């Protein structure tokens, strides 16, 4: 008889422990979900920042190529004694457009960095 009482008590104690463990696992699951959602948001922000940085790098490369082309063209025109500002105006316009894009991307990066 005592054995049955002890077994019954053990079952009740085990059931209580399992219920507490189940509640704890639910809490852990909820906390994990919240952390994962925060991680997703941060990853999205970092991705946007990375895209802006790549855009800045790409525009700087294009701008430097245009500077190179301008130098080549200016020197070629100089050698032929035909150097004029009108002949370089188109390249200057392209550089101005690139610089406008750079300012936009740099503002995006600065805005992101201020939010942190």
Single out the residue of 47, 55, 44, 45 nearest to residue 106, CA to CA: 55
Q: How far is 71 from 78, CA to CA, in rounded Å?
A: 10
Position 116 confidence tier, pLDDT thresholds 50, 70, 90: low
Check if the beta carbon of residue 91 is closer than 8 Å to that of residue 64: no
Residue-wise pLDDT tens digits, 25-68? 888 888 888 888 888 888 888 888 888 889 889 999 999 998 89
pTM of the model as a whole = 0.56
Identify the burial level of 106 via C-beta atoms within 10 angstroms of its C-beta, where 0-12 means exposed, 13-18 middle and 19 or more buried. Answer: middle
Task: List the alpha helices (DSSP H) in the chain.
Answer: 2-79, 89-115
pLDDT of residue 61: 94
């Amino acid at each position: 008889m005592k054995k049955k009482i002890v077994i019954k008590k053990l079952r009740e104690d085990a059931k209580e422990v399992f219920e507490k463990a189940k509640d704890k696992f639910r809490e852990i699951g909820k906390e994990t979900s919240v952390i994962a959602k925060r991680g997703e948001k941060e990853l999205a922000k970092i991705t946007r920042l990375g895209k802006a940085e790549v855009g800045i790098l790409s525009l700087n490369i294009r701008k430097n190529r245009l500077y190179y082309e301008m130098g080549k063209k200016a020197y070629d025109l100089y050698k032929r004694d035909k150097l004029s500002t009108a002949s370089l105006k188109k390249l200057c316009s392209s550089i101005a457009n690139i610089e406008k894009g750079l300012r936009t991307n740099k503002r995006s990066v600065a805005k992101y960095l201020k939010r942190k």
